[in-house]
Amino acid sequence: MIFSHPRTWSLSVKLPLTITAVVVGVAITVGMAIVVQERDRIRENLEEKALVIARGVAGVAYEAVLRSDYWGLYKSLQSMTAPTDPSDNSTSILGGMVLDTEGRVLAHLNPEANPVGMPLLGANPEQRKWLREVLEVNAPHIHISRNEKGGYVESIVPVQSEGSVVGVVVLHLSTQEIFTRTLAAAGIIFAIAIALAIIGSMLGAYISRRMIRPLNALASGMDTVGRGDFTRIIPVKPRDKDEIGQLVESFNRMTGELAGKKQLEQQLAMNEKLAALGRIAAGVAHEVNNPLGGMLNCLDILKKKPGDETLIERYLPLLERGLNRIQAIVQGLLVELRTDQADSFGDGGCVEDVKELIAAEIGDRPIQLLWSNQIDSSTCVSCGHLQQVAHNLLRNAVQAVGDKGTVAFRTQVSGGKLLIEVEDNGAGIPEEVLAHLFDPFFTTKSSGTGLGLWITYRLVSRMNGEIEVESEPGKGSLFRVKVPSKSVVLPALSGAA
Partner 1 sequence: MTGLITRRRALALLGASMFAHPLRAAEEERPVRFGLTAVVVRENLQFFERWRHYLEQRIGRPVRFVQRRSYREIMGLLQTGEIDFAWICGYPYVQKREPEFLELMAVPVFMGEPLYSSYIIVHRDNPATSLSDLKGKVFAYSDPDSNSGYLVPRFLLASTGALPDNFYRLTFFTYNHAETVEAIANRVADGGAVDSYVWEFMAKTRPAVTERTKIILRSQKFGFPPLVTRSAADQELKRRMQAAILGMKEDIDGRSLLAELALDSFSPATPVLFDGIRAVAQRMSEGGKP
Q: Which residues pair with 174 in a beta bridge?
A: 152
Tell me, what DSSP letter sits at residue 119? Answer: B
Contact in structure between 418 and 390 (CB atoms under 8 Å): no
Q: Residues 108-147: x/- map of binding to partner 1 (CB under 8 A)?
A: ---xx--xxxx-----------------------------
Q: Which is nearer to partner 1, 62 or 70 (CB)?
A: 70
CB of residue 101 vs partner 1: minimum separation in angstroms?
17
Phi, psi of 167 (to 5 degrees): 175, -170
Helices (runs of H) and strands (runs of E) counted in the chain:
11, 12
Contact in structure between 339 and 494 (CB atoms under 8 Å): yes
CB of residue 176 vs partner 1: minimum separation in angstroms?
25
CB of residue 107 vs partner 1: minimum separation in angstroms?
8
Q: Residue 412: helix, strand or coil by DSSP?
A: strand
Q: Which is nearer to partner 1, 111 or 235 (CB)?
A: 111
Tell me, what DSSP letter sits at residue 303? Answer: H
Q: Which is nearer to partner 1, 37 or 68 (CB)?
A: 68
Q: Which is nearer to partner 1, 114 or 399 (CB)?
A: 114
Q: Which is nearer to partner 1, 111 or 245 (CB)?
A: 111
d(CA 332, CA 392): 12
Which range of residues in 62-70, 172-180, 290-298, 438-446 is near partner 1 by CB under 8 A?
Answer: 62-70
Q: Which is nearer to partner 1, 117 or 187 (CB)?
A: 117
Which range of residues in 54-62, 69-77, 241-249, 295-303 is near partner 1 by CB under 8 A?
Answer: 69-77
Helix pair angle (383-401, 352-362), 10° resolution: 30
d(CA 467, CA 460): 7
CB of residue 32 vs partner 1: minimum separation in angstroms?
45
Which range of residues in 66-74, 286-294, 341-349, 480-488 is near partner 1 by CB under 8 A?
Answer: 66-74
Q: Please identify which residue in 9, 62, 70, 190 interacts with partner 1, judged by CB under 8 A.
A: 70
Q: Please, which residues have CB within 8 angstroms of residue 486's CB and are 6 or more apart in sequence?
A: 416, 464
Q: Which is nearer to partner 1, 100 or 287 (CB)?
A: 100
Amino acid letter for position 312: I
CB of residue 185 vs partner 1: minimum separation in angstroms?
36
The total number of residues written for the chain in this structure: 497
CB of residue 169 vs partner 1: minimum separation in angstroms?
17
CB of residue 76 vs partner 1: minimum separation in angstroms?
12
d(CA 183, CA 189): 10
How many residues sit close enough to partner 1 to count as binding (CB under 8 A)? 13
Tally of CB atoms within 10 A around 288: 15
Q: Which is nearer to partner 1, 57 or 393 (CB)?
A: 57
Chain residues 76-115 in contact with partner 1, contact rule CB under 8 A: 107, 111-112, 115
Residue 212 CB-half CA count within 13 A: 13
CB of residue 82 vs partner 1: minimum separation in angstroms?
13
Which range of residues in 70-78, 158-166, 322-330, 416-424 is near partner 1 by CB under 8 A?
Answer: 70-78
CB of residue 131 vs partner 1: minimum separation in angstroms?
20
Q: Does 69 bind partner 1 (CB under 8 A)?
A: yes
Q: Does 66 bind partner 1 (CB under 8 A)?
A: no
Q: Which is nearer to partner 1, 109 or 381 (CB)?
A: 109
Q: Please identify which residue in 22, 29, 71, 340 interacts with partner 1, judged by CB under 8 A.
A: 71
Q: Please identify which residue in 10, 29, 37, 68 interacts with partner 1, judged by CB under 8 A.
A: 68
Exposure of 238 by Cβ count < 10 A (0-12 exposed, 13-18 middle, 19+ buried)? middle
CB of residue 74 vs partner 1: minimum separation in angstroms?
5
CB of residue 95 vs partner 1: minimum separation in angstroms?
15
State the SS3 of 122-158. CCCHHHHHHHHHHHHCCCCEEEEEEECCEEEEEEEEE
d(CA 78, CA 476): 128
Q: Which is nearer to partner 1, 118 or 207 (CB)?
A: 118
Closest CA to 57 of 74, 38, 32: 74
CA of 270: how far to CAs of 112, 282, 484, in Å? 117, 18, 28
CB of residue 115 vs partner 1: minimum separation in angstroms?
7
Q: Which is nearer to partner 1, 111 or 484 (CB)?
A: 111
Which range of residues in 68-76, 215-223, 230-238, 343-351 is near partner 1 by CB under 8 A?
Answer: 68-76
CA of 245: how far to CAs of 206, 248, 266, in Å? 17, 5, 32
Helix segments in 340-451, DSSP class H: 352-362, 383-401, 431-434
Q: Which is nearer to partner 1, 117 or 256 (CB)?
A: 117
d(CA 329, CA 447): 12
Instruction: Please say whether the dihedral angle defined by the alpha carbons of residues 464, 470, 473 and 475, taken in this order, is positive or negative.
Output: negative
**Interface residues with partner 1 (CB under 8 A)?**
68-71, 74-75, 107, 111-112, 115-118
